[in-house]
Structure 1
Amino acid sequence: MKLKVLLHSVCVLIHFTITSLTAQVADKEVNSDSIKEILEESSRSFLTQTNEGKEKGIYFLELAEKLIKKVNDPLLEIHINRKKIDFFLGTRDTLRVEEYLAKNLKIIKLIDNKRQLGLYYEGLGVHKSMQEKKEEGYQAYLIAEQLLRKYGKTKDVIDINYNLCSRYMMVKRWNEAIEHALKSLNAIKKTGVKKDRRKNLNLFLAESYINLKEFEKAERYFDTIEKEKSAYSGDLNFEGRLYSNKGLYYEKTGDYKKAALFYSQSFNNLLKYYSQRTREVSTTLALSNQLNLKEEENKRIKLENDLKAEQLRNRGHIILLSVIIILGLILMSIIQYRVSLYKTKINKLLQKNYEELVEANQKVDEALEAKSEFLDSVTHELLTPLNTIKGTTFLLQKEELTSHQVNQMKLINLSSDYLLNLIADVIHLNDLEKGKLELKNEKFDLRVLLNNLVDSSALMKDNNNQIHKKIDSNIPDDLKGDVLRVSQIFLNILDNALKFTRDGDIYVEALLVSKIDNIAEIEFSIRDTGIGMSEKQISKAFEAFHQGSVKINRKYGGTGLGLSIVKKILKLQGSDVVLKSKPGKGTLVLFTMKFDIPEQVIEKNTFSGNGYDESPEGINVLLVEDNKVNQLITEKIISNYGFYCDSANDGKEAVDMVKKNKYSMILMDIMMPKMDGFEATKYIKQFDKGIPIVALTAISEKLNREKFNEVGIYTVLNKPVDPELLYETIMVCCDK
């Protein structure tokens, strides 16, 4: 009985919702004009950029698709399908995009419309390009441009020339990019539509003329962009690209200080943009899944209604046949048979729904994987300009600077170090979520480690706090564990205590809980007298990027990743963290860790110094780097240490130079055109096995460790490289 009431309630609710939303259509005759009004309402709803607006936009788009079947208007049907294609391109639903492209092509062939065929190939080009099938997308764009130039309207050539310009920018064919950008701008001027394209087209022209070294023309387009500032104000992505191109302009014209400033501004804007974009992609994926689930739910409800109607008919038969007693047995048999069929259909429906839920879960997992890959890609791309900033400031500090310039360099260094730590935390958190973190087991002195960590943290965060240490004397002198992870856990918690406490006390304690079978269990506690936390803040303390409130984040700074990373590392080691706090009363953080106790052995000290107090003469380094700015900066750093340095722009050029010249070692970038660092190393090792090759790259060493070992790379230096570490590495390689 409860099931019947529930089904009835659901049906009434759905009927009421559909009736209220379609009332404006029901009052009119369904025709092309009324469907166009629905499409316009859908577009207006999507423009609100809210979840409610997007859901409303999806509904009206679905309604237009249903109503077009009642009207014989193939051009309008093509237009509706194109709107669906645009939506599914936004959600990256490849299968649905291909489905609607196929529908449009079928209609176009029937009506033989060359303009619509051109628009079809334009959409196909966008789809292929988003699938990373660049060549197929390019060929589709060429066909679309030919058709629209001949059969299309003036407004039709705006986007196709825009897309071709973007394509030629990617492959650095500057003259062709300029040609198509000017065509698109001319069409916008004639028609007065799609004016939002102008800012990007002007930026494409400025970048192209910079690379062609026609700087006066580039300046003209920068001035045009500046005059139309209101068109892109607040657009973080565009401003980031604009500052990047201004940095390129000043780099090409030799003003490296301005170049460094604009690259820094570009990096900040793009970091904010990609953070926002991550949240938008997650929301869009959720809406797409919601749309698919709604469609399946409607199908299920329709089937249940059909089954319910069939059941009602069966009841009527039962009442009728019960009057005829002679045929009662026969009728009962028939009823039982029909009930059996009904149950079979229900079981099949449940099985189908289960399979669809499994498929939906798989899509969610794919979305999470896409997010992880997106973070990997973004952090890799962010490290390249950060390397430029770090290298430029290092070189500028070697020059004679005014006191004001010295302070400015310190500010840039502090900002770039903060960004580097943020990127490192994001990469580390991403590795933890993917389960790719490996724990080491090495010998160390816990007492010395804790003392060093406390002393260094106290120096870096001077809030006039008193630190009280208490380390149990029963803790063994030597333990075995992952020193880096212990330091990371301890520092994240201690730094929080120091940051959120002013003119107070910090109590650090390490207590031996047990020592059984050469395993020591130690409890760590860090207590402060700082601002404390509410129950609500405690419940969210271990969420990534959460620091309690916007006010706290603005006052104290930080990313909110520390405790999230701590919890994940401890969970990986089979432990957990306990957090106790009250507002204004301070905070107590407790956690326990287990360590192996190594056997006591007498070790021979074989260390004899580093052997390179002074730079030996005659060291010649080959730097392989495709980024001209990074190449120039790294070359100057190496030269400042007294070494000779040659540069190669890609792997193929490096192979040729090693064949002709004798080098002490090679600094090899990995991601390069023509021939990447892995392939170049493999070729060089074929004819010079003894030369040390060090990877200087922004890609993850953990994810590519097998490749580094396979080709024979000696060690890996991550961008942005520390100049002192670079010096030590060169000395070690040349001393081998």
Structure 2
Amino acid sequence: MKLKMLPYIMCLLMHCNIAFLEAQNSDSKISSDSIRKVLKESSDSFSKLTSDGNKEGVYFLELAESLAENSPDLYIKMLVKRKKIDFFLNSRDTIKIEGYLADYLKIIEQVGDKRELGLYYEALGVHKSVQGKKEEGYQAYIIGEQLLREYGKDRDVIDINYNLSLEYIRLQRWDEAIEHALRSLEAVEKTKQKEDRRRNLYLFLIECYINLEEFDKVEYYFSEIEKEVSVYFNELYFEGKLFSQKGSYYEKIGDYKKSSYYYNQSSKKFLEYYFQRTKEVSTDLALSNQLNLKEEENKRIKIENELKAEQLRNSRYIILLSILVIVGLVLMSILQYRASFYKTKINKLLKRNYKKLIKANKKVDKALKAKSEFLDSVTHELLTPLNTIKGITFLLQKEKLTSHQENQIKLINLSSDYLLSLITDVIQLNDLEKGESKLRKEEFDLRVLLNNLIDSSLIMNINNNKVHREIDSQIPSKIKGDVLKTSQIFLNILDNALKFTKDGDVYIDVLLVSVIDHKVKIKFSIRDTGIGMSKRQIRKAFEAFHQGSVKINRKYGGTGLGLSIVKRILRLQENDIVLESKPGKGTSVSFMIDFDIPKLAQGKNAIPKNNFEEFSQEINVLLVEDNKVNQLITEKIISNYGFYCDSANDGKEAVDMVKKNRYSMVLMDIMMPKMDGFEATKYIKRFDKGIPVVALTAISEKMNKDKFNEVGIFTVLPKPVDPELLYKTIMSCCDSDD
């Protein structure tokens, strides 16, 4: 009963208010303040965002208009006209707004107020844009902005610059769009009004800077938006636009994986948004149907009861019922059409985003293929001259040198080793990213390995650090795992601790965690007292080529690939790394690795130790190398070991020489003119299947493993060649040949 009385009470209060204001109006004593109060009531009612609130808002707005007609205050008349114009703009009533704009302009011309003229052109620009007359709207915005910038208040420039920025983005005039977006943003910050505009302005700036390729500013405004995540959280449409811009940004910088991810997230957000809208429409439709059906049922019962009393009266109710049913059906049809429209729009959006996703994936695949081919080519070109440098230094070390020359040779060796390490790291990182790196199972003694690695690192320790090691004695003496990758992980972290610590301490703890079913879990911890890292540096520590800052890179050197490789190797083993650090207080790194425990001790197959003089007289090697310098150096290395060596300049010449002469083995370069190493090996194997062919190349063995196996390559030696490894390989080939 109370709820039924509420509308009547509201109507009574509203009529009392009208009577009071009309009484004032009749005495010609309507004050401007009272009209402003009515306008405030109207604004408060509209802000409720309910049906009753809208009705109240319209009522008070019309009341303010009627009161303002008799007011001598031209400014209050302009204020009312402006409110009416805003109302018609929001309701998209393009017919009535024309008359109000004309009346508003007449009053402005009487007053001569430049600020009001600027507000008029702003409203005119919005009206023309809604009508689809973009050019006229744009011209109106330009005039309005100039007037409001000179004569308006700080809050007046927020919307006009917002709309201008949006217009320039449509025209792809990025610099002007940035200028107006920044003006609008500055006004928001200064006035603390319309702060909901801020995040959209950030998106405008992000789109402009992406197209201008000013990516540092793009990242800045992305971070500014992230600060307001609590404000726009679950605003699906805004999040969809945000992820779309992130996808565009990562596409621009070439990170197609992230681009594809964010385009996908954008599609999901838009899908959720339109699904939510469709669900709301469906809910409203169902509720409306229920209410209509209930109402119709009540009316039907009422009509049936009244039919018994009066036949003529009932006929009118039947007609009314028919009209209501028709209206209900029309409303249902409209709602169904809207629901169908939203579904169609969602499907189109999904198809469009799906095509973008496919296109982005193709670009990623193409980029990865190009990257692999590029690495093959570049590593070959880098490792070929590096082979020359390493070979020359090896030969020079065999000669009598002065102490000064020995130091220079050591410097050359150190530099070439550093360059070789960098190239190897880049190739390995690429293999890990593509998932082509595989784990090996080798039997070894972990305690001996770690002690050797620590001792070798201490030899290179130039920072006067003390190393404290604790290796659990309970760790089995023989375990099985990937020795090379375990060494890489441990050395990368230990070398970082020694490099970034000076006159300090490095603590190494290796602990046996568990032994279950012939498997052992071991925890490695390396802690130092060095320079430490900030939270931001920790977040970026595992990114490739990142070392915290340019200053750190210049002071300590390095490529920034170590931790990135460590992270990926541990993921390959289904393990992770924990990094804790504070600036000035050192860094702690810990990780776990699982190893197998061999059931039975297995002997190692060592290369047979044959008498050097006995074999050297019998071994004749054919070297196939198109680079004359590398050919000369490799010949000298082979000759220094007492072997015979002939040389061929390309694959075709090598095939002819193998046909004419008998060789113990062939050292085959792969990338050569006329006929490459793969093709030459195929021809050689046709008429001499037993001759061992060893690839001497700079291209990746893992990436070309199938090709090596297909043509029958015995093994692969990387460039630059290690003389000792070359010797062992020659002996191994000749021994297997025997």
TM-score normalised according to structure 2 size: 0.56
2:561 is the alignment partner of 1:561: yes
> 2: CA distance between counterparts of 1:596 and 1:513?
14
Pairwise mapping of residues 568-607 of structure 1 onto structure 2 (< 5 A)?
568-601=568-601
**What is the identity, as a one-letter code, of the residue corresponding to 1:732?**
S
> 2:651 touches 2:674 (CA, 8 Å); kept in 1?
yes
**What is the identity, as a one-letter code, of the residue corresponding to 2:717?**
L
Q: For residue 420 of structure 1, what is the aligned residue in structure 2?
A: 420
> 2: CA distance between counterparts of 1:405 and 1:21?
65
> 2: CA distance between counterparts of 1:606 and 1:390?
29
> 2: CA distance between counterparts of 1:541 and 1:396?
41
Q: For residue 662 of structure 1, what is the aligned residue in structure 2?
A: 662
Secondary structure, aligned partner of 1:621: strand
Secondary structure, aligned partner of 1:415: helix
> 2: CA distance between counterparts of 1:407 and 1:488?
28
Change (3 A) 1:52 1:419: farther
> 2: CA distance between counterparts of 1:701 and 1:403?
39
Q: For residue 297 of structure 2, what is the aligned residue in structure 1?
A: none
Per the TM alignment, residue 389 of structure 1 is displaced from its structure 2 partner at its CA by: 2.5
Pairwise mapping of residues 396-435 of structure 1 onto structure 2 (< 5 A)?
396-399=396-399, 401=401, 403-435=403-435
1:57-115 deviation per Cα after TM superposition (whole angstroms, max 9, x unaligned) = 99xxxxxxxxxxxxxxxxxxxxxxxxxxxxxxxxxxxxxxxxxxxxxxxxxxxxxxxxx
Secondary structure, aligned partner of 1:545: coil
**What is the identity, as a one-letter code, of the residue corresponding to 1:392?**
I
Q: For residue 342 of structure 1, what is the aligned residue in structure 2?
A: 341
Q: For residue 629 of structure 1, what is the aligned residue in structure 2?
A: 629
Question: Residue 211 of structure 2: which of 55, 60, 82 is its match?
Answer: 55
Per the TM alignment, residue 335 of structure 1 is displaced from its structure 2 partner at its CA by: 3.4
Q: For residue 609 of structure 2, what is the aligned residue in structure 1?
A: 610
Secondary structure, aligned partner of 1:646: strand
Per the TM alignment, residue 325 of structure 1 is displaced from its structure 2 partner at its CA by: 8.4
> 2:493 touches 2:526 (CA, 8 Å); kept in 1?
yes
> 1: CA distance between counterparts of 2:207 and 2:625?
45
**After alignment, is 351-360 or 603-612 more displaced?**
603-612
Pairwise mapping of residues 212-227 of structure 1 onto structure 2 (< 5 A)?
none
Q: For residue 464 of structure 2, what is the aligned residue in structure 1?
A: 464
Counting matched residue pairs gives 467
1:294-353 deviation per Cα after TM superposition (whole angstroms, max 9, x unaligned) = xx99xx9xxx9xxxxxxxxxxxxxxxxxxx989846754763564355235323323323
Q: For residue 448 of structure 2, what is the aligned residue in structure 1?
A: 448
2:668 is the alignment partner of 1:672: no
Q: For residue 178 of structure 1, what is the aligned residue in structure 2?
A: none
Secondary structure, aligned partner of 1:531: coil
> 2: CA distance between counterparts of 1:400 and 1:649?
32
Pairwise mapping of residues 80-479 of structure 1 onto structure 2 (< 5 A)?
283=253, 328=327, 332=331, 335-336=334-335, 338-339=337-338, 342-363=341-362, 365-366=364-365, 368-370=367-369, 372-373=371-372, 374-399=374-399, 401=401, 403-479=403-479
> 1: CA distance between counterparts of 2:442 and 2:406?
41
> 2: CA distance between counterparts of 1:441 and 1:285?
35
Secondary structure, aligned partner of 1:682: helix
**What is the identity, as a one-letter code, of the residue corresponding to 2:646?**
D
> 2:510 touches 2:523 (CA, 8 Å); kept in 1?
yes
Change (3 A) 1:407 1:524: same
**What is the identity, as a one-letter code, of the residue corresponding to 1:356?**
K
> 2: CA distance between counterparts of 1:423 and 1:710?
27
> 1:463 touches 1:498 (CA, 8 Å); kept in 2?
yes
1:261-290 deviation per Cα after TM superposition (whole angstroms, max 9, x unaligned) = xxxxxxxxxxxxxxxxxx99973788xx89
**What is the identity, as a one-letter code, of the residue corresponding to 1:465?**
N
Change (3 A) 1:285 1:704: closer
Q: For residue 641 of structure 1, what is the aligned residue in structure 2?
A: 641
2:684 is the alignment partner of 1:714: no
Change (3 A) 1:341 1:416: same
Secondary structure, aligned partner of 1:708: helix
> 2:608 touches 2:732 (CA, 8 Å); kept in 1?
no
Per the TM alignment, residue 403 of structure 1 is displaced from its structure 2 partner at its CA by: 4.7
> 2: CA distance between counterparts of 1:617 and 1:696?
23
1:530-569 deviation per Cα after TM superposition (whole angstroms, max 9, x unaligned) = 2222222222211111122222211211111111111111
> 2: CA distance between counterparts of 1:501 and 1:473?
28
Secondary structure, aligned partner of 1:520: strand
Secondary structure, aligned partner of 1:508: strand
> 1: CA distance between counterparts of 2:345 and 2:324?
31
> 2:534 touches 2:582 (CA, 8 Å); kept in 1?
yes
Per the TM alignment, residue 711 of structure 1 is displaced from its structure 2 partner at its CA by: 1.9
> 2:500 touches 2:556 (CA, 8 Å); kept in 1?
yes
> 2:624 touches 2:669 (CA, 8 Å); kept in 1?
yes
> 1:697 touches 1:716 (CA, 8 Å); kept in 2?
yes
Change (3 A) 1:627 1:524: same
Change (3 A) 1:22 1:525: closer
**What is the identity, as a one-letter code, of the residue corresponding to 1:55?**
N
Per the TM alignment, residue 359 of structure 1 is displaced from its structure 2 partner at its CA by: 2.4
2:164 is the alignment partner of 1:16: yes
> 2: CA distance between counterparts of 1:720 and 1:608?
22
Per the TM alignment, residue 371 of structure 1 is displaced from its structure 2 partner at its CA by: 6.0
> 2:169 touches 2:208 (CA, 8 Å); kept in 1?
no
**After alignment, is 350-359 or 643-652 more displaced?**
350-359
Change (3 A) 1:428 1:330: closer
> 2:465 touches 2:502 (CA, 8 Å); kept in 1?
yes
Change (3 A) 1:328 1:462: closer
**What is the identity, as a one-letter code, of the residue corresponding to 1:554?**
R
Structure of higher CA gyration radius:
2
**What is the identity, as a one-letter code, of the residue corresponding to 1:440?**
R
Identity %: 62
Q: For residue 484 of structure 1, what is the aligned residue in structure 2?
A: 484
Q: What root-mean-square deviation, in Å, do the aligned CA atoms of Structure 1 and Structure 2 show?
A: 4.2
Change (3 A) 1:605 1:388: closer
Change (3 A) 1:403 1:360: same
**What is the identity, as a one-letter code, of the residue corresponding to 1:444?**
F
Secondary structure, aligned partner of 2:436: coil
Per the TM alignment, residue 719 of structure 1 is displaced from its structure 2 partner at its CA by: 0.6
> 1:285 touches 1:367 (CA, 8 Å); kept in 2?
no
> 1: CA distance between counterparts of 2:479 and 2:404?
49
Change (3 A) 1:697 1:337: same
TM-score normalised according to structure 1 size: 0.56
**What is the identity, as a one-letter code, of the residue corresponding to 1:342?**
F
> 1: CA distance between counterparts of 2:207 and 2:391?
44
Change (3 A) 1:372 1:56: closer
Secondary structure, aligned partner of 2:382: helix
> 2: CA distance between counterparts of 1:24 and 1:352?
25
2:546 is the alignment partner of 1:546: yes
